[in-house]
Structure 1
Amino acid sequence: MIPVQGMAGQHVAVLGLGRSGLSAAQALQAGGAVPVCWDDNPAARERAGAEGLACRDLSKAGAFEDVAALIVSPGIPHLYPAPNPVVAAALAAGVPVDNDIGLFFRSFATPDWDGFDTAPRVVAVTGSNGKSTTSALIHHILTAAGRPAQLAGNIGRGVLDIDPAVDGEVVVLELSSYQTELARALTPDIAVFTNLSPDHLDRHGGIGGYFAAKRRLFAEGGPDRAVIGIDEPEGGYLAGQLSEGPADDRVIRVSVTRKPGGPGWRVFARKGFLAEYRRGRQVVSIDLRAIAGLPGAHNHQNACAAFAVCRALGLAPRAIETALHSYPGLPHRSQIVAQAGGVTYVNDSKATNVDSAVKALSAFARIRWICGGLQKEGGLSGLAGATDRVVRAYVIGREAAGFALQVDADRVVCGTMAEAVAQAMRDAEPGDTVLLAPAAASFDQYDNFEQRGDDFAAEVRKGLAGQGALPPPR
């Protein structure tokens, strides 16, 4: 645990008692603060009480009279589409609002570091798509190369749950826009921007607010080095803002659509080959095509970003290349769950928006596409021209019929995952990929995208067992 510094003896309110809220309260307590906690869910309050944490109804008048700060969990809105009443009350009382990310950055460094040969570093990764894979890949490469590393944030452990740093350690954080928009301290050593596509627009008041939330990671503290995906206008703009000139190698530009120009530090992938250029000369080339854990151009972008970070941390190119080949991939992100009869079954349940689904669809040749769910703002207009490789779409979800009307491919309305997988398996031929890439949220039928992906994998195993291709599940 990372004890929170600078708040000893102060009452600090904590709103929301999920994973991040509980760990924030415990870290505050470990640092000598007095956390006062609240969650609308009685079960969450009971869990907090069992952990020895005091609860107080923060919605009542006068609740903030003795409170020095309010720590808010990521899912609780503080501005758009409307502030949570408790957040509004704190702001009206003049109480500063922060989150666990802000607490982490103010508390991570300790006097123990004075005795280290190499100061610990923090790498923070944000963006619309690919940030989980990029973060996990950086962590994997570092670990494979023998560097001490921890993975936390929006993936793995909560930021305040990690262990205190050891000599030379690197902490890799995946940060969502919900986390970056509110943190009062954001001071990573290396910051990564993967890409931008419309998402969470109601929470951020539109695409401009969404980009502004991501941009805070680079603007608030000023990282020593920035790795920027420049395939969207926002990334190009951000790289331009951070750079002092064309040869400024504090900004590493990443692309999978073109070879970036200029004499600066560039990492890009074309036709499955990663290339690193410095001072106008190519210094590295890596063939990504045979890396099973990183299929498709979108994963090649993730590989470029992870490569750039690890090079900035001093790793040799061949050590990075070796580690790339052993990367197993993340669950629910282009995850191969089975191969049988010449058919590959891929779980990309994390493809919860149109842009991520388009990238998944570009990674395979002949696709039996399982899609559908709770549509996000903007519908499926971004799918135009992206379904050329789809042999047939199998639509699930509560509004499957309406979703199917927007799919420009042969399609069948299935409704449930069980029916979609069964029909896709009956139709599939050798060389096909049965791909779950929903292009929608999961909440109409599942608690989260992980549960949806697990259901897909279970139905695939059940179907293959019925064909005699796998032993029956126990």
Structure 2
Amino acid sequence: MIPVLGLTGQKIAVLGLGRSGLATARALRAGGAEAICWDDNAAARERAEEEGFTCLKLTRQGAFDDIATLIVSPGIPHLYPAPNPVVAAALSAGVPVDNDISLFFRSFATRDWDNFETMPKVVAVTGSNGKSTTSALIHHVLDHSGRRTQLAGNIGRGVLDIDPAEDGDVVVLELSSYQTELARSLTPDIAVFTNLSPDHLDRHGGLGGYFAAKRRLFAEGGPDRAVIGVDEAEGSFLANQLSMGPSDDRVLRISVDQKLSGPGWNVFAKKGFLSEYRKGRQAGSIDLRNIKGLPGAHNHQNACAAYAVCRSLGLAPRVIEQAFHSFGGLPHRSQIIAETGGVTFVNDSKATNVDAAQKALGAFKRIRWICGGLEKEGGLGDLANHAGEVVKAYVIGREAANFAMQLTGVDAEVCSTMDVAVAKAVQDAQDGEVVLLAPAAASFDQYDSFEKRGEDFIQLVQNHTKR
């Protein structure tokens, strides 16, 4: 646990008592503050009370009279589409609103660091797609190389739930836009921007607000080094804003769409080969084509980002390459779950938006595509134009028929449920084909989460392939 520093003796309100909220309350108490907690869910309040925390409804009259700060869990809106009533009450009372990410950055460094030979580092990864895989890959490479490392944030443990730093530690944080948009303190040593595509637009008031939330990690944080994906206009703009000139190697540009040149520090992947160029000369390369845990161009982008971070931390290209080969990938992200009868089954349930699904479709050949779910704002766009390798689509979800109608030019069958879709795809699949779950939609019409959706797919595939 990371005890929260600088709030001793103060009353701090904590809104939301899920994984991060309860960890925040514990860390506040460990640092000498008093946590006043609230969650609309009675079971969550009961868990907190069992640990000795006081739970008080924070919308009652005078609730913020003696509160120094309100700490808000990431899923709770504070501005768009409308502030949560508790947040609105804090704003009205003039009480600062913050989150656990900010508390972490304010509390991670301690006087113990004065005795370390190598200062601990914090790597923070954000972006629309690939941030989980990129974070896990960085963590894996560091662990493989013998560096002590911890993985936290939007993946792994809560940021305040990790262990205090030891000499030479590297903490890798995956940070969502929900986490970066509110944190008052953001001071990573290395910050990563993978890419940007429309997502969570209602929460951020549009694409500009969404990009602004991501950009705060760099503008507010002032990292010593920034790794920026430049395949979208926003990334290219961000890299330009952070750089002092073409040779400024504090900014590492990465790409899977173009060969990057110039006197700066660049990492790109073309046709399955990763290349590192520095000061106009090649400094390293990796053949990514046979690395099973990193299939497709979208994972090659993740590899470029992880490679750039690990090179910034002093690791040799050969060490990074060796670690890449032992990386097994993450559950629900281009996860190969079975290979039988010449058919490969891939679970990419995390492809909850159109851009992620496009990337998954580009990673495989001859695809039996299971898709559909709760359609996100903005519709399916030109998703059908990226379905050239799709032999047939099997559409699930409550509005499967409407979803299927938007897949113009694609042979699509309305299945509605996962069990029907898997059964038909298994029956139809032929040698050399891939049965791919890449929904291009949220899961909440039929499942509690994308994880539950992926687990259902895995179980159904296992039931059919064992017959």
- What does 1:59-208 correspond to in 2, within 5 Å? 59-208=59-208
Counterpart check, 1:446 vs 2:438: no
* Aligned residue type for 1:324: F
CA RMSD of aligned residues (A): 0.5
The answer on whether the counterparts of 2:119 and 2:168 sit within 8 Å (CA) in structure 1 is: yes
Q: CA deviation at 1:18?
A: 0.5
| Residue segments in structure 2 that go unaligned for 5+ positions in a row | none
Aligned to 2:52: 52
Matches within 5 A, 1:239-278: 239-278=239-278
Question: SS at 2:68's partner residue?
Answer: strand
| Amino acid across the alignment from 2:69 | A
**With structure 2 as the length reference, what TM-score do the two structures score?**
0.99
Residues 72-471 of structure 1: matches in 2 within 5 Å? 72-408=72-408, 409-466=410-467
Partner SS, residue 246 of structure 1: coil
* SS at structure 2 position matched to 1:227: strand
Pairwise CA distance, 1:261: 3.0
**Contact 2:190–2:223 (Cα < 8 Å) also in 1:** yes
Q: Secondary structure at the match of 2:466?
A: helix
CA distance, structure 2, for counterparts of residue 138 and residue 407 of structure 1 = 36
For the residue of structure 2 that corresponds to 1:67, the secondary structure is: coil
Q: Offset of 1:122 from its aligned partner?
A: 0.1
Aligned residue in 1 for 2:19? 19
Rounded Cα–Cα distance in structure 2 between residues aligned with 1:455 and 1:80: 33
Q: Distance in 1 between matches of 2:419 and 2:466?
A: 14
TM-score, length of structure 1 as denominator length: 0.98
Q: Determine the C-alpha separation between the residues in 2 that align with 1:65 and 1:179.
A: 26
| One-letter amino acid matched to 1:26 | R
Contact 2:261/2:277, CA 8 A, preserved across alignment: no
Q: What's the CA shift string for 1:361-381, capped at 9, x where partnerless?
A: 000010000000000001111
Q: Structure 1 CA distance, aligned partners of 2:61 and 2:389?
A: 59
User: d(CA) in 2 for partners of 1:407 and 1:149?
Assistant: 44
1:215 & 1:172 partners in 2: Cα distance? 18
Partner SS for 1:438: coil
Give, in angstroms, the shift of residue 176 of structure 1: 0.1
Number of matched pairs: 466
What do residues 39-94 of structure 1 show as CA deviations (whole Å, max 9, x unaligned)?
Answer: 11111100100111111110111000000000000010000000111101101111
CA distance in structure 2 between the partners assigned to 1:310 and 1:167 by the alignment: 18
Q: Which amino acid aligns with 2:415?
A: C
SS in 2 for 1:333: coil
State the distance in 2 between where 1:170 and 1:284 align: 23
Runs of 4+ in 1 over 2 A off after TM superposition: none
